[in-house]
């Protein structure tokens, strides 16, 4: 070991207390730097892994693709894999339908088609069937058996005449649970069978494909690519079916990455400031020692190296410990995340399975390397200034150095009489820059705490729930827009046979406890002047019931209009959120709509009367609003879509039970209760807040290290001065009072800044969150409890610190302290 | 007629133990009269400073008594001792030991402030004139020369009109011309305000200015 290392090493041991604190700060910083990306990215990854496991993994399926086009698609560079599917024939199943399906290996893989038993059919008349299908057909057979099945081949204009053929069962497909109810079955057949039934000239494939390099693409980029391929290969828009469930499960939110980076930046800054101030303050009382080293011949570089290596040695211990702590914390964090996964989430069991079987590694090597490197860099950044200070000291200056801070000030106005208070004030104002820096550093955590607290306290679960569910229950129609597989679920089709009809109303009203139904309607329209991608914009106009007339008028923010004016039928009210979709929209503009009523398209023009900011319970996320009566008139039908059901508070349970059983008979209806909505929001906010507060506690730990260091050092540096004061008459009580006063000053400063800036910033963040409807925030709630907690925590720490420091201070006698001056 | 102000009785203070035992003060008995200027001389490590700390009630002895105006100071509790000290004793240190964050005036009036006593402005002004630092009252200690700093320290020790001034090599860090000036000043002031001065010194010339010289050797007063 050379001299520099030895000196650094012995310094490490000598400054044990300080190095332990620096070590804790480095450890906590490393922990956060590790845990934040580990959990943040891990969550995304695990979600995606689960989605990959559960859902078919193709991005898009093109229908009606000719064999040669299919071949060409599979060779394109943008395509990672492409699989073929063909349904050559229909099986006439009593009370249902069966499809003979052919899929190539890739398609089976992409579609996650698995067998319960046996093998997929390969040649000739081999087949894989489900037990459900066999049962429905009244056949008893197993693998290896030959069965005779009737089928009708698919032809250009429908299905052809029934044929019969013998098939050899090679495998058993799992019976879908819902096929018993729906009566839809499938059987896997071979390519030979497809070729036998369909000549290449009429054969049309479905091509399922994955876009290459999708891992690093946003969902929109993926969509752009497959649309472009379709365009170039002459596949019509109508034949593109995206695998939306998989795409949305794999949705990557760019703001997540920005968020992770932002939080890490805060952690790094807090780390740098704490570690910096720990080492910087040590320099002050190590000046003499470095001076002596210099006098003995150490070069600037060597002095810098001593400081640097001491820091590095501390890091060598603290960073690995931080990584270990981080691994434990991240693992616990994941468990916690799992418990926060909504029980209704279909991915939940898969996620649990993935984690338990260690199929997804949450603690990735690169995160360890990254966290260690970033922490080390943090320490290096924090060390630069102390290294410079240590290196700059001249030997002569250092010998004379008595620990007092050099100020350029020559005069002080002072006071004619001295009091303890003024004495404290004089000390604090001695180095104003340092005092301010200390308070600012300590306040950063406090400010962050207040901002987070404000956001969390504004996210009031009951308020958010009440915003979207006005009464106790909401029944709505479960229609689907733009689902090419199920055009019958379009609202324009469903409304002709609206499940929310008079009969159903009677049934609901007959439930004991139900008091009132308030009905809102919905009308599907197209906005011919506006494009959504390549198509005209399709949206809905909400029909507001007369009961909400006053409420509606109160939400108007710009312009003015009454419910009665709207009832005239030529004016329309728009919600603010339309401005974010269609910027530049203003009052007085004419809005052209085309109403789709069954197969009829009726054009209509409205003047925009006013802009409102409506609760979700009123606009149901639509941005166009008319009175119910106008919708009725336009559609020529009752277009009830949302029923808000008020019920007796005492009979909520029984009402809910009855409503549920009513809804159960009609899968086109959906029931939402206020209580469920509250529970859902509570779960969301409590999860979010627990995560935030845990983060704050760790970051607070870093801040506390800083506070301890500041206090301890301010006493340590001045120990001789304090000894002198005692010699000339400062009693111990006065000394404690003086330290307390200093502490109170720091505390008050920290609180003032934390609360002042914290509340101000918190309010700004609230305004932003409200505007963007983040976390469902609606109105400002002052985080009173959190404020009290912050005050108590800071005061307690301060008092505790003063007490501990005094206890430590007493260990040294006054004489020992004064002697320092004679040494 | 001079009266007894300060006396010690069989005072002992040992440091360490066994072979490392250092008898800093070893059964010392002595007394100092009111208004007297006493110089304590002795070699380095002879126990001068320890004795002075005992006299000034800065440190407690292992055994023996220190009486100031007839009162055994070590019977007082720490808190009472601090009060007693600031009222009865003024200290002057070799390193001046001014409080760096306070200006000259504030340094001088600090002991009174700590005692919550009203500052006798006229007295302190006269004092600062007497020691020639009137133009530096608003200066911070770091801007003063060693001699000036020691004058401020003297003014601080005198300002609360204590009965005893204890000075531990007050001129140790000063050049010889300044040294004489400071000592003369100190002596004059003490005479003027009727105070008792006990001073540790290495310097024979300075010791000769005293009314009485105590020689300390190995923790014992060997000649008076």
**Which of A541-550, A811-820, B99-108 is predicted least confidently?**
A811-820
Measured CA to CA in angstroms, residue A51 lies from A165, A345, A728, B27 at distances of 39, 11, 76, 90
The residue behind tokens 């320890």 is B50
pLDDT-derived band at B197 (thresholds 50, 70, 90) equals very high
Q: Answer whether residue A554 shows pLDDT above 50.
A: yes
Contact (CB, 8 A) for A621 and A614: no
Interval A706-723 mean pLDDT: 76
Name the percent of chain A lying above pLDDT 90.
10
Please calculate the CA angle A120-A126-A130 and round it to the nearest 5 degrees. Answer: 60
Selected residue with higher pLDDT from B100 and A752: A752
- Give the pLDDT band of residue A180 (cuts 50, 70, 90): low
| CA B113 – CA B120 distance, rounded (Å) | 11
Residue A791, CA distances (Å) to A742, A785, A814 in order:
17, 10, 34
B44 touches chain A (CB under 8 A): no
Instruction: Classify residue B139 by its DSSP letter.
Output: B
CA A456 → CA A341, A782, A793, distances in Å? 19, 10, 19
Separation in Å, CA of B1 to nearest CA in chain A: 30
Of A402, A721, A728, the CB nearest to B111: A728
Lowest-pLDDT range of A29-33, A51-55, A659-663: A51-55
> CA angle, corner A519, sides to A517 and A521, nearest 5?
165
- Identify the band that residue A822 occupies on the pLDDT scale cut at 50, 70 and 90: very low
Cβ contact, residue pair A727, B79, below 8 Å: no
Instruction: With CB atoms and an 8 Å threshold, state whether A426 touches B111.
Output: no
CB proximity B156 to A under 8 Å: yes
Q: Three-state SS across A7-56?
A: HHHHHHHHCHHHHHHHHHHHHHHHHHHHHHHHHHHHHHHHHHHHHHHHCC
The yes-or-no verdict on residue A181 having pLDDT over 60 is: no
Cα angle, residue B7 at apex, residues B5 and B11 outer, rounded to 5°: 160
**For chain B, which residues make up each domain, given as ranges?**
4-223
Separate counts of helices (H) and strands (E) for chain A: 30, 21
Q: What is the pLDDT of residues A249-259, one digit of tens each?
A: 666 666 677 77
DSSP A506-547: HHHHTSTTEEEEEEEEEEEEEEEEEEETTEEEEEEEEEEPGG
Q: Kindly indicate whether the domain formed by B4-223 is annotated with CATH number 3.40.50.300.
A: yes
Taking the CA of residue A143 as centre, how many other CA atoms within 13 Å lie in the half-sphere pointing to its CB? Answer: 11
Residue with tokens 């915003």: A467
> Over the stretch A58-99, which tens digit does the pLDDT of each residue have?
888 898 888 889 989 989 888 988 999 988 888 888 777 788
Out of A406, A411, A733, closest to residue B103 by CB: A411
SS3 labels along A451-464: HHHHHHHHCCHHHH
Whether A410 contacts chain B with CB within 8 A: yes
Give the residues across from B167 on adjacent strands. Answer: B92, B199
A41, two tokens: 């990215």
Would you state the pLDDT for residue A291? Answer: 79
**CA-based nearest residue in chain B for residue A731:** B82
Structure tokens at A592: 């052209």
- In this complex, is the C-beta atom of A420 within 8 Å of any C-beta atom belonging to chain B? yes
DSSP per-residue codes, A201-245 = TT--EEEEEEETTGGGS-HHHHHHHHHHHHHHTT--GGGEEE-HH
Contact check, Cβ <8 Å, B100/A430: yes
SS3 content of chain A, % helix, strand, coil (to 5): 60, 20, 25
Residue-wise pLDDT for A604-663, tens only, equals 899 999 998 888 888 888 889 999 898 888 888 788 899 999 998 888 889 989 888 888
CA distance A626 to A570: 10
Residues from chain A that touch B140, judged by Cβ atoms under 8 A, are: 407, 409-412
Cross-strand bridge partners of residue B217 = B220
Distance (Å) from the alpha carbon of B117 to chain A's nearest alpha carbon = 9
Whether residue A725 contacts residue B111, with contact meaning beta carbons closer than 8 Å, is answered with: no
* Residues contacting A482, CB < 8 A, separation 6+: A538
Q: What is the pLDDT of residue A708?
A: 76
CB-CB under 8 Å, A420 with B114: yes
Q: What percent of chain A has pLDDT over 70?
A: 92
A127-167 residue pLDDT tens: 999 888 888 888 888 888 899 889 988 877 777 888 889 99
CB-based contact B64:B9 (threshold 8 Å):
yes
Using CA atoms, how far residue A374 sits from A16, A42, A326, A327, in Å, is: 24, 19, 14, 16
pLDDT 10s digits, A752-797: 999 999 999 999 989 988 887 777 788 898 999 989 988 998 888 8
Is the per-residue pLDDT at A669 higher than 70? yes
On the question of pLDDT at B70 being above 80, the answer is yes
Where is pLDDT greater, at A703 or A764? A764
CB-CB neighbors (< 8 A) of A423 in chain B: 99, 102, 110, 113
Residue B139 touches partner A, C-beta closer than 8 Å: yes
Using the 8-state DSSP alphabet, how is residue B16 labeled? S
User: What span, in angstroms and rounded, lies between the C-alpha atoms of A544 and A525?
Assistant: 16
Q: What is the mean pLDDT of residues A550-557?
A: 89
For residue A823, name the pLDDT band (cuts at 50, 70, 90): very low
Mean pLDDT of A674-693: 80
Residues of B in contact with A815 (CB under 8 A): 53, 58-59
A406 at B interface, C-beta within 8 A: yes
The pLDDT tens digits of the residues spanning A315-356 come to 999 999 999 999 998 888 777 766 665 555 666 777 777 777
Nearest-by-Cβ selection for B103 from A404, A412, A417: A412
Least confident range from A403-417, A621-635, A684-698, B66-80: namely A403-417
């Amino acid at each position: 070991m050379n001299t520099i290392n030895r000196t650094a090493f012995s310094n490490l041991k000598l400054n044990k207390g300080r190095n332990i604190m620096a070590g804790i700060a480095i450890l906590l910083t490393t922990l956060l730097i590790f845990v934040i990306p580990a959990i943040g990215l891990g969550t995304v990854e695990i979600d995606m892994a689960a989605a990959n496991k559960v859902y078919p993994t193709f991005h898009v399926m093109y229908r009606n693709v000719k064999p040669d086009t299919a071949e060409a698609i599979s060779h394109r560079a943008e395509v990672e894999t492409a699989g073929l599917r063909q349904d050559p024939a229909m099986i006439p199943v009593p009370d249902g339908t069966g499809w003979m399906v052919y899929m190539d290996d890739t398609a089976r893989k992409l579609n996650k088609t698995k067998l319960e038993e046996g093998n997929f059919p390969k040649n000739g008349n081999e087949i894989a069937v489900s037990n459900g299908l066999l049962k429905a057909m009244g056949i008893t057979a197993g693998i290896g058996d030959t069965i005779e099945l009737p089928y009708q081949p698919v032809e250009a204009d429908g299905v052809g005449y029934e044929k019969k053929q013998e098939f050899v069962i090679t495998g058993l497909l799992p019976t879908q649970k819902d096929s018993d109810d729906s009566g839809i079955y499938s059987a896997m057949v071979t390519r030979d069978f497809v070729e036998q039934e369909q000549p290449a000239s009429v054969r049309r494939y479905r091509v399922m494909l994955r876009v290459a390099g999708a891992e690093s693409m946003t969902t929109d980029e993926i969509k752009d690519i497959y649309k472009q391929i379709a365009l170039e290969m002459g596949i019509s828009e109508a034949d593109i079916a995206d695998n939306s469930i998989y795409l949305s499960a794999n949705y990557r939110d760019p703001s997540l990455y920005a968020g992770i980076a932002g939080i890490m930046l805060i952690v790094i800054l807090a780390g740098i400031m704490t570690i910096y101030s720990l080492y910087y303050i040590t320099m002050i009382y190590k000046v003499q020692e470095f001076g002596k080293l210099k006098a003995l011949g150490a070069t600037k570089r060597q002095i810098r190296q001593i400081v640097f290596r001491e820091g590095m040695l501390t890091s060598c211990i603290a960073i690995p410990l931080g990584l270990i702590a981080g691994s434990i914390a991240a693992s616990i964090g994941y468990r916690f995340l799992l418990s926060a996964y909504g029980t209704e989430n279909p991915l939940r069991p898969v996620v649990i399975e993935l984690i338990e079987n260690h199929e997804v590694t949450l603690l990735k090597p690169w995160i360890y390397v990254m966290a260690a490197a970033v922490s080390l860099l943090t320490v290096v950044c924090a060390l630069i200034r102390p290294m410079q200070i240590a290196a700059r000291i001249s030997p002569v200056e250092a010998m004379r150095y008595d620990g007092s801070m050099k100020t350029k000030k020559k005069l002080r106005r002072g006071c004619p009489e001295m009091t303890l208070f003024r004495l404290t004030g004089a000390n604090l104002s001695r180095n104003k820059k340092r005092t301010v820096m200390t308070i600012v550093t300590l306040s950063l955590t406090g400010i962050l705490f207040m901002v987070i607290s404000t956001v969390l306290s504004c996210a009031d679960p009951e308020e958010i729930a009440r915003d979207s569910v006005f009464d106790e229950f909401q029944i709505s129609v479960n229609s689907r827009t733009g689902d090419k597989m199920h055009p019958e679920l379009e609202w324009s089709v469903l409304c002709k046979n609206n499940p929310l009809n008079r009969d159903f109303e009677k049934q609901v009203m007959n439930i004991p406890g139900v008091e009132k139904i308030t009905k809102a309607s919905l009308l599907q329209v197209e906005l011919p002047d506006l494009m959504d991608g390549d198509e005209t914009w399709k949206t809905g106009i909400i029909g507001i019931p007369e009961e909400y007339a006053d409420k509606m008028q109160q939400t108007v923010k710009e312009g003015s209009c009454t419910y009665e004016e709207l009832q005239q039928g030529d004016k329309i009210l728009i919600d603010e959120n339309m401005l974010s979709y269609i910027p530049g929209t203003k009052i007085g503009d004419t809005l052209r709509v085309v109403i789709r009523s069954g197969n009829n398209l009726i054009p209509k023009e409205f003047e925009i009367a006013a802009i409102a900011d409506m609760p979700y319970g009123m606009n149901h996320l639509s941005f166009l609003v008319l009175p119910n009566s106008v919708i009725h008139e336009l559609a020529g039908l009752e277009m009830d879509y949302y029923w808000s059901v008020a019920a007796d508070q005492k009979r909520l349970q029984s009402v809910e039970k009855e409503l549920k059983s009513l809804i159960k008979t009609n899968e086109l209806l959906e029931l939402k209760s206020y209580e469920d909505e509250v529970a859902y929001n509570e779960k969301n906010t409590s999860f979010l807040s627990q995560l935030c507060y845990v983060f704050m506690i760790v970051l607070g730990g870093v801040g506390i290290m800083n506070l301890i260091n500041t206090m301890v050092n301010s006493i340590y540096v001045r120990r001789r001065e304090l000894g002198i004061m005692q010699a000339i008459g400062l009693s111990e009580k006065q000394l404690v009072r003086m330290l307390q006063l200093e502490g109170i000053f720091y505390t008050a400063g920290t609180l003032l800044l934390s609360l002042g800036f914290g509340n101000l910033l918190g309010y700004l963040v609230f305004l932003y969150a409200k505007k963007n409807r983040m976390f469902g925030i609606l109105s400002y709630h002052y985080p009173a409890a959190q404020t009290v907690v912050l005050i108590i925590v800071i005061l307690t720490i301060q008092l505790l610190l003063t007490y501990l420091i005094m206890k430590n201070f007493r260990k040294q006698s006054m004489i020992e302290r004064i002697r320092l001056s004679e040494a | 007629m001079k009266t007894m102000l300060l006396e010690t009785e069989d005072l002992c203070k040992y440091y360490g133990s066994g072979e490392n035992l250092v008898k800093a003060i070893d059964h010392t008995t002595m007394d100092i009269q009111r208004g007297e200027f006493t110089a304590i001389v002795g070699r380095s490590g002879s126990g001068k400073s320890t004795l002075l700390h005992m006299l000034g009630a800065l440190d407690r002895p292992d055994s023996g008594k220190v009486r100031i105006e007839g009162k055994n100071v070590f019977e007082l509790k720490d808190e009472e001792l601090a009060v007693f000290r600031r009222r009865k004793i003024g200290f002057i240190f070799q390193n001046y030991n001014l409080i760096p964050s306070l200006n000259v005036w504030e340094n001088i009036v600090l002991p009174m402030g700590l005692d919550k006593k009203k500052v006798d402005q006229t007295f302190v002004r006269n004092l600062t004139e007497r020691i020639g630092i009137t133009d530096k009252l608003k200066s911070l200690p770091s801007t003063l020369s060693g001699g000036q700093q020691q004058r401020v320290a003297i003014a601080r020790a005198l300002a609360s009109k204590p009965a005893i001034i204890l000075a531990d090599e007050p001129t140790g860090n000063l050049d010889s011309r300044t040294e004489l000036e400071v000592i003369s000043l100190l002596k004059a002031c003490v005479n003027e305000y009727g105070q008792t001065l006990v001073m540790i010194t290495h310097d024979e010339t300075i010791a000769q200015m005293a009314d009485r010289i105590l020689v300390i050797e190995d923790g014992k007063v060997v000649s008076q």
